[in-house]
Amino acid sequence: MTTNGSRPRMVTVRVQRFNPDVDEKPYFDEFQVELTPAKTILDALHEIKTAQDGSVTYRRSCRHAICGSCAMYVNGKNILVCNTPLRDKIDEEGTVTIRPLPYLPIIKDLVVDRSSFWEQYERVKPWLIPSADVPEKEFRMSSEEVAALNKAETCIMCGACYSACQVIAMNKRYVGPHALLKAFLRVLDPRDMAPSERLADVGDQDGVFRCHTIFNCIDACPKDLDPTKAIETLRKLAQKRQAFEAARRDRQRMLNEPIASS
Amino acid sequence: MIEHEVIIVGAGLAGSWTAMVAGQRGVKDIGVLSKIHPLRSHSGAAQGGIAAALNNARPVAGTGPRGPLEPVPQGEDPPDSPELHMFDTIKGSDWLGDQDAIEIMVNEAPEIIYAYEHMGCVFSRLPDGRIAQRRFGGHSAPRANYAADYTGHVLLHTIHEQALQHGVEFYSEWYCMDLLVEDNVCRGVVAMDVLTGEIHTMRAKAVMFGTGGYGRAFEVTSNAYANTGDGVAIAYNAGVPLMDMEFVQFHPTGLYEHGILMSEACRGEGGYLTNSEDERFMERYAPDKMELAPRDLVSRSEQTEIDEGRGIGPDGKGIYLDLRHLGAEKIKARLPQIRELAIDFVGVDPIDDPIPIQPTAHYSMGGIPTDADGQVIANADGQVIADADGTPVVGFYAAGECACVSVHGANRLGTNSLLEASVFGRRAGHAIADFVQNGAELHPVTGDPAERNRQRVARLMDGAGSESVEAIAQELKQTMTDDCGIYRDKERLAQAMQHVGEMQERFKDARVMDKSKRFNTDVLAAFETEHLLTFSEVIVAGALAREESRGAHYRTDFPKRDDEGWLKHTVAHKGEPGEGPRLSDKGVNIDWDRFPPQERKY
């Protein structure tokens, strides 16, 4: 019911359903949801789940694009559903089609099994390996050194890039854009003690040299990060590891000292 | 039956610190349960900073409280101190914070920040390479250490990654449903593996809760869907009392109609709050601190403006947060996430237009009472033990937002929550390592607790009733917002008390729609709603009993603070079925020589 008496505009939301315990293959259910200006796709899913069919299953938590739970495949693109207005994704037929992230096993409906994604994340040893000899206060880092990380520290591990990657689609041995971005973050961080080992780890055929530079990861990233560029950087560093190692040793000798102003 | 030496529930900053420290200390067998993947925890949503008197930045001399900041030159007298941080926190708490615990927190603050930095946390930096600091509400020095406006995110990822190194076993997407306490000894938990729907009894020598806050009991909130206060309700059901639950913080700047957090850093960087008449109305309420008064005061001021007809937006229930004068460069560099959220959710670019905001339920000051080592302090009769010689709940620990140490008292200062979760999570890790390494044992459990909880699920699936879980949840949130919100009075609270009781009754007939075992989030939502109902009653009971105004608890019928009658913590014990909470109290730790109660003006 709207105040001006006109009929509310309804949107058809098509949700891919699949419970492997009972269904032979995935199928679609259609739901009608009223379009309002502030409604996000996650709001629409919540409305469907709580008012129409409680068995519709998806992950969500923070609802403002920081927790990384709700990456899904909507109208042919990986997005976060929490920060995407419903009105922005209505196709010519007045429909929004929601499917789980591609190339990953389906647990139920829109919930996928990210096991391979997390295994690759752990494989690159995502933690910084600090010096055994830490200063009393903080290590000094210049703003340029922080900027060189290219915001890789803001990756929310949603998996949108991973499941958009054509190489991952074919080959789950590939480390993947998310984990290589993490490796990049650690390799570029002047505080990390093992950049050379990291480069050796990711500098093989399952690592940076497997990337085909298709750029799908960049298109898919909801945080506007650039895994492809990070992979290219790692590739170059892997090719000239010795010079890089020497430069890092020099830098770490000064790491407890104020940055000279330029 | 699953067994561990230590079980930690919740994998945000508090739980992850405990896991990492216990692991570093050589505890071999640690299981961490989280109902969502650890990196999805709500600590990651914190934006503006983490407090510590590092003395890296100071105001340029002679520029006043809103002037520019500059690096503190090497060798010059430090302008800030833990002592000053302590005073600000006590004043912010409206003298309800326990001063011994606050002292521990502020003294450990600098080394916690340096620990994060050494573990690889990417902070914003000053030109000389030190960690950058900004102003925050209620703090009299710039001591918010930050990573742009995603500070919680980088801290959470940093600490999770470090915990991964120590052989901690993560039970990702396991939902804790029950805490097993018999004869005042904690014996483990019951949890559901969400993927399979199987319910397991899990025994441990020590259990630690870092389960987060309870803002989801309110209609408009900055909190994640996950912040349903499960741990608080589960502990209460197991006979552990809850403390100071009536103190719920409303953050002044939630995104209009969404409640999503717009960091206090917006005001820390110099943002203005304006009403429909384009006035910076904080002049009337806090002429000295203006927009950087503490959150309770700013939220009340906004609500008064709205109630008196000077709100903005179609329904007049908003306020403007104006950042335009900061300029595009500063907004992009210091507040990139804020800008992105404002554009995505309300179509406003803060560079060009003011952001519509409104107060939003944000932080739970109350929770499970603990000492400064995370040890839960209640004896077998449910009475809180005030001194260290009392009998605690053996083997049960809590830290972070679900706990009440209490360092925040009646109102938390911004940037003190990341600090609290880190400091007391770490201390709980050490306490648990000591406990386990000094010969703690696995204790038997009576009966079959897992089976008891399977029956709860069966009732939700197969019972005859037809109440909708969501309808009850919505009604509860509306009731808590209308009758137990920013402004409270006896009549409305009494009404809320009755209403919550009725909803608890109705919930007995609640049924879920999804009857499958696999990844049943419909069942989880039902348990979460049951938990909201459980602790909401305690919030309302405490608010009704406390006939004064202090910090975030404001009674229009008792608008003054009453130190004679109410300078004490509220303690709520679960009564007999149908009886409601039994209230008692606990004294506040005050250093009467150094920090006696004063009038709280900003």
CB pairs under 8 A between A and B: 168
Q: Report angle CA B332, B336, B337 to the nearest 5 degrees.
A: 165
Please state, in angstroms and rounded to a whole number, the distance separating the CA atoms of residues B317 and B311. 5
The whole-number pLDDT of residue B460 equals 95
The answer on pLDDT for B390 being more than 90 is: no
* Interchain contact, A107 vs B45, CB within 8 Å: no
Total structural domains within chain A: 2
Q: What is the ipTM of this complex?
A: 0.95
**A108, A41: one domain:** yes
Which of the 8 DSSP states describes residue A154? Answer: G
**A193, A178: one domain:** yes
Give me the DSSP letters along B90-117.
HHHTTT-S-HHHHHHHHHHHHHHHHHHH
Residues of A in contact with B514 (CB under 8 A): 54-55, 57
Average pLDDT over residues B233-252: 96
Please state, in angstroms and rounded to a whole number, the distance separating the CA atoms of residues B226 and B224. 5
Please check whether residue A259 lies inside any domain of the structure: no
Q: What's this model's pTM, rounded to 2 decimal places?
A: 0.96
> Per-residue pLDDT tens for B38-54?
999 999 999 999 999 99
**A29, A152: one domain:** no
Residue A21 contacts B where some CB pair is shorter than 8 Å? yes
* pLDDT band for position B385 (cuts 50, 70, 90): low
pLDDT over 90 percentage in chain A: 86
* Residue range of the domain that includes A92: 2-112
Active site residues of B: 295
**A101, A121: one domain:** no
Tell me the β-bridge partners of A14: A30, A97
**A238, A124: one domain:** yes
Please check whether residue A131 lies inside any domain of the structure: yes
> Per-residue pLDDT tens for A94-134?
999 999 999 999 999 999 999 999 999 999 999 999 998 99
pLDDT over 70 percentage in chain B: 98
The answer on pLDDT for B138 being more than 90 is: yes
Closest Cα partner for B134 from B122, B121, B120, B148? B148
Residues of A in contact with B162 (CB under 8 A): 127
Please state, in angstroms and rounded to a whole number, the distance separating the CA atoms of residues B282 and B272. 9
Please state, in angstroms and rounded to a whole number, the distance separating the CA atoms of residues B145 and B131. 7
Closest Cα partner for B405 from B431, B423, B383, B430? B423
Which of the 8 DSSP states describes residue A140? Answer: P
* Interchain contact, A140 vs B513, CB within 8 Å: no
Average pLDDT over residues B259-285: 96
The whole-number pLDDT of residue A7 equals 81
> In this structure, are strands B510-511 and B467-468 parallel, antiparallel, or unpaired?
parallel
**B594: three-class secondary structure by DSSP:** coil
**A33, A101: one domain:** yes
Residue A16 contacts B where some CB pair is shorter than 8 Å? no
Residues of A in contact with B338 (CB under 8 A): none
* Interchain contact, B131 vs A138, CB within 8 Å: yes
Mean pLDDT (chain A) is 94
* Interchain contact, A50 vs B261, CB within 8 Å: no
Question: Best mutation site among A21, A29, A106, A137 for testing chain B: the one with the most B CBs within 10 Å?
Answer: A137
Please check whether residue A262 lies inside any domain of the structure: no
The CA radius of gyration of chain B, in Å to the nearest whole number, is 23
> In this structure, are strands B144-145 and B568-573 parallel, antiparallel, or unpaired?
unpaired
* Interchain contact, A57 vs B514, CB within 8 Å: yes
Paired tokens of A105: 């096993």
User: Looking at residue A83, which CATH number applies to its domain?
Assistant: 3.10.20.30
**A101, A147: one domain:** no
Mean pLDDT (chain B) is 95
> Per-residue pLDDT tens for B470-511?
999 999 999 999 999 999 999 999 999 999 999 999 999 999
> Per-residue pLDDT tens for B511-552?
999 999 999 999 999 999 999 999 999 999 999 999 999 999
Q: How far is CA B485 from CA B45, B81, B252, B394, B554, in A?
A: 23, 35, 13, 36, 9
The answer on pLDDT for B287 being more than 90 is: yes
Residues in CB range of B406: below 8 A, 6 or more apart:
B93, B96, B97, B98, B101, B243, B244, B365, B369, B569
A residues 134-153 near B, CB within 8 Å? 134, 136-143, 146, 149, 153
* Interchain contact, A140 vs B518, CB within 8 Å: no
Give me the DSSP letters along B546-570.
--S-BTTB-BTTB-S--HHHH-EEE
Closest Cα partner for A62 from B215, B415, B556, B289? B215
Please check whether residue A105 lies inside any domain of the structure: yes
Residue B182 identity (one-letter amino acid)? E
Contact at 8 Å (CB) between A65 and A222? Answer: yes
The answer on pLDDT for B579 being more than 80 is: yes
**A153, A100: one domain:** no
Tell me the β-bridge partners of B583: B572
**A84, A150: one domain:** no
The whole-number pLDDT of residue A32 equals 98
The answer on pLDDT for B113 being more than 50 is: yes
Kindly state the helix (H) or strand (E) to which residue B70 belongs, with its residue range: strand B69-71
The whole-number pLDDT of residue A262 equals 58
**A248, A132: one domain:** yes
Min Cα–Cα distance to chain A from B287, Å? 33
Mark B232-258 as b/e (b = at least 16 C-beta within 10 Å): bbbbbbbbbbbbbbbbbbbbbbbbbbb
Average pLDDT over residues B254-277: 96
The answer on pLDDT for A245 being more than 90 is: no
The CA radius of gyration of chain A, in Å to the nearest whole number, is 22
Please state, in angstroms and rounded to a whole number, the distance separating the CA atoms of residues B398 and B15. 9
Q: What is the separation of C-alpha B185 from the centre of its chain, rounded to a whole number of angstroms?
A: 26
The answer on pLDDT for B569 being more than 60 is: yes
Please check whether residue A257 lies inside any domain of the structure: no
Measured between CA atoms, the residue of chain B closest to residue A63 is B224
Indicate the residue among A77, A112, A147 that finishes a domain. A112
The answer on pLDDT for A1 being more than 50 is: no
Q: Report angle CA B217, B221, B224 to the nearest 5 degrees.
A: 85
Please check whether residue A142 lies inside any domain of the structure: yes
The whole-number pLDDT of residue B591 equals 97
**A72, A182: one domain:** no
Which residue matches tokens 């803002």? Answer: B215
Please check whether residue A261 lies inside any domain of the structure: no
- Of A1-10, B285-294, B309-318, B546-555, the one with minimum mean pLDDT is A1-10
Indicate the residue among A85, A112, A139 that finishes a domain. A112
User: Looking at residue A132, which CATH number applies to its domain?
Assistant: 1.10.1060.10
Q: How far is CA B237 from CA B106, B117, B354, B496, B577, in A?
A: 33, 39, 45, 21, 11
The answer on pLDDT for A252 being more than 80 is: yes
Q: What are phi and psi of B372, to 5 degrees?
A: -75, 0
Please check whether residue A84 lies inside any domain of the structure: yes
* pLDDT band for position B402 (cuts 50, 70, 90): very high
* pLDDT band for position B388 (cuts 50, 70, 90): very low
Please state, in angstroms and rounded to a whole number, the distance separating the CA atoms of residues A128 and A120. 16
Residues of B in contact with A157 (CB under 8 A): 39
Question: Best mutation site among B39, B114, B165, B362 for testing chain A: the one with the most A CBs within 10 Å?
Answer: B39
Q: What length is written for chain B?
A: 602
Indicate the residue among A50, A77, A112 that finishes a domain. A112
Which of the 8 DSSP states describes residue A260? Answer: P
The whole-number pLDDT of residue B143 equals 97
The whole-number pLDDT of residue B387 equals 44
Closest Cα partner for A123 from A163, A67, A180, A208? A180
The whole-number pLDDT of residue B272 equals 97
**A23, A137: one domain:** no
